[in-house]
Structure 1
Amino acid sequence: MESININISKDHLKLSVDKLPDVLLLPGDPARVYEIGRFLDNVKEVGNNRDYLTIVGEYRGLPIAACSSGMGGPSTEIAVVELHKHGVNTIIRIGTSGGLSEKISPGDLIVLSGCIKYSGTANLFVPENFPSIADYRVLQALICACDREGTTFHVGLGLSVDSFYATKPGLIGKDFPSTINGQMDLWKSAGALQLDMEAATLFVLSSLLGISAGAICTAGSNITKGLRPEYPPSNDPAIRCACEAALLFKRWERLSEQAGKNFLIPPIEDRGRI
């Protein structure tokens, strides 16, 4: 049988360019792509199909792109795979989440080192015990950026699930069945800081594809405390920190290459030893 080569990369993103900058910011909500655009120069929209809105621009001279992933693992999978086909090698998720830890307040930033994985999408590629972790270099860049920006931030594990209502079955009806809702206290006591729907899929696929990925989320609420502000917290601090982290990551990468090293993490570079 004759093989048929189908280029699936444009079937969903519908980009007007063949190649994107290698650094990309990945929010879930298309509206947040426009918010990101306010931080960039020379912004151009290069794709808008279904939930996937894509722009390119520059942040302090660094070429950078942003694309919305939609909600949940399956739509995130499509975005990550197809963005990689267009040259993206570094992804920073800019998300929103529900705080689980008592120490999380609405508006706080959460930098994820990894995720407890309840992702049917990821598990179709690898076994359930495959780790879901951030790239340590992007993680370090996000921590440094948050610290330098003076934001309130936390670093640690998230709980990432492929459902919105299964963790809140009472919103559907009294005694509505859920296999995960009864485990929320377990994961909270085990150190889970937040709840989201996309990070685990991003981390697993990035590991498989060789993408350097990280995630920073704005806590829109605290589920444990029942705190939900009338007006959602601003995404601006997370966007600013993600942009600064991208700049730091690429700078460290460049300096490491000049030194003939694979990757030197700070504060070595900051002390001027390269």
Structure 2
Amino acid sequence: MNQISNADLIINQDGSIYHLNLLPEDIADTVITVGDPDRVSEVSRYFDRIELKKGKREFITHTGYLGSRRITVLSTGIGTDNIDIVLNELDALVNIDFKTRQVNNMLKSLDIIRIGTSGAVQEDIPMGSIIVSEFGLGLDALMQYYVHEVSGDERILLDAVKSHFHHLKGITPYITAADHGLLETIGKDLLKGITVTAPGFYSPQGREVRAKTAFPGLVDLFRTFSSGRQRITNLEMETAGIYALAKALGHKAISVNAILASRVKFEFSSNPAKIIDGAIQMVLAKL
């Protein structure tokens, strides 16, 4: 087997992975990701026991137990550029022998559960809703750098997306489904839809403050998309990257979105902390 070079897989002097600063034994098989580093403790405070706290840059990690289940909660920071780091390094921690720098003979599949905030693009989705992403639709460039396969349902949706968004020149969308098993457990009885992952917060999500947007009416374009029973429900900045890289690496992923804003009603929640906490408690109760 080929060794992975020192330049391709950077390991710190203490044996930890480069950015996350974690050792292989530091992470559980169930990983909850959050964007905000401060949200890590908002999740781990519900643990019965915390065995590890580590941090480097925006990547804060707590590992502990909820009952007998070992869980890691990890902050990713914002955007799919950070997801590229987090997913690859999580995979390396469980599937590469750091001493030999070779891929393990037996590969491990992590359960990766994103708990994040989002804005709704449909009028019938009220503030405070919890939406599970049945599909992640990426408008960023991350997956142009990876070989990844598209399934039958994904291909049908992607063709419909390309047709609906044909005039958005320079954007190459990609789409990936949530893990079916996690959709049936974490996502059971929750509102589901297509989540758009944008490469920014302002113009890429249809906002205009001072700099002029190149794509006027973007939110309305999201709102009016449909394919069969599928529609775009919400916007955020990580889900599609998590789904696509998790699938490429053989992991299972689900994204749970706390709706803090209505992009069509131009409203933002007056109590976002309560909505986020409700999403956290809901996910932990289903584990």
For Structure 1 versus Structure 2, the TM-score category normalised by the shorter chain is 0.7 to 0.9
Q: Give 3-state SS (helix, strand or coil) of 2:253's partner.
A: strand
Contact 1:25 1:242 in 2 (8 A): no
Q: Which residue of the partner structure matches residue 165 of structure 1? A: 202
Q: Which residue of the partner structure matches residue 228 of structure 2? A: none
Contact 1:26 1:69 in 2 (8 A): yes
Q: Which residue of the partner structure matches residue 281 of structure 2? A: 240
2:257 and 2:10 map into 1 onto residues whose CA distance is: 30
- Alpha-carbon RMSD across the aligned residues, in angstroms, is 2.1
Contact 2:143 2:174 in 1 (8 A): no
Aligned residues between the structures:
235
1:95 and 1:197 map into 2 onto residues whose CA distance is: 9
Q: 1:56 deviation in Å?
A: 0.3
Do the aligned partners of residues 41 and 183 (structure 1) sit closer, same or farther apart at CA in structure 2, a change above 3 Å counting?
A: same
Among candidates 250, 256, 267, match of residue 216 of structure 1? 256
Among candidates 168, 182, 189, match of residue 217 of structure 2? 182
Contact 1:16 1:46 in 2 (8 A): no
Q: Which 4+ runs in 1 deviate beyond 4 A?
A: 126-130
Q: 1:195 deviation in Å?
A: 0.3
Q: Which amino acid letter does the alignment assign opposite residue 111 of structure 2?
A: T
Which stretches in structure 2 are left out of the alignment for 5+ residues? Answer: 12-16, 95-108, 149-171, 226-230
Which is richer in helix?
1
Q: Which residue of the partner structure matches residue 196 of structure 1? A: 236
Instruction: Show CA shifts across 1:211-254 (max 9, x none).
Output: 00001010011111111123324212211222233x2xxxxxxx
Q: Which residue of the partner structure matches residue 99 of structure 1? A: 120
Taking structure 1 as the reference length, the TM-score comes to 0.79
2:141 and 2:4 map into 1 onto residues whose CA distance is: 30
Structure 2 residue 187 is matched with structure 1 residue 143: yes
2:125 and 2:22 map into 1 onto residues whose CA distance is: 38
Moved more, 12-21 or 76-85: 12-21
Q: 1:17 deviation in Å?
A: 5.5
Which stretches in structure 1 are left out of the alignment for 5+ residues? Answer: 148-152, 248-274
Q: Percent identity?
A: 26
Alignment of 1:46-125 (within 5 A): 46-87=53-94, 89-125=110-146
Q: Give 3-state SS (helix, strand or coil) of 2:266's partner.
A: coil
Q: Which residue of the partner structure matches residue 22 of structure 1? A: 29
Do the aligned partners of residues 169 and 225 (structure 1) sit closer, same or farther apart at CA in structure 2, a change above 3 Å counting?
A: closer
Q: 1:18 deviation in Å?
A: 3.7
Do the aligned partners of residues 62 and 123 (structure 1) sit closer, same or farther apart at CA in structure 2, a change above 3 Å counting?
A: same
Do the aligned partners of residues 129 and 29 (structure 1) sit closer, same or farther apart at CA in structure 2, a change above 3 Å counting?
A: closer
Contact 1:165 1:172 in 2 (8 A): no
Do the aligned partners of residues 63 and 18 (structure 1) sit closer, same or farther apart at CA in structure 2, a change above 3 Å counting?
A: closer
Structure 2 residue 40 is matched with structure 1 residue 5: no
Contact 1:110 1:155 in 2 (8 A): yes
Taking structure 2 as the reference length, the TM-score comes to 0.75
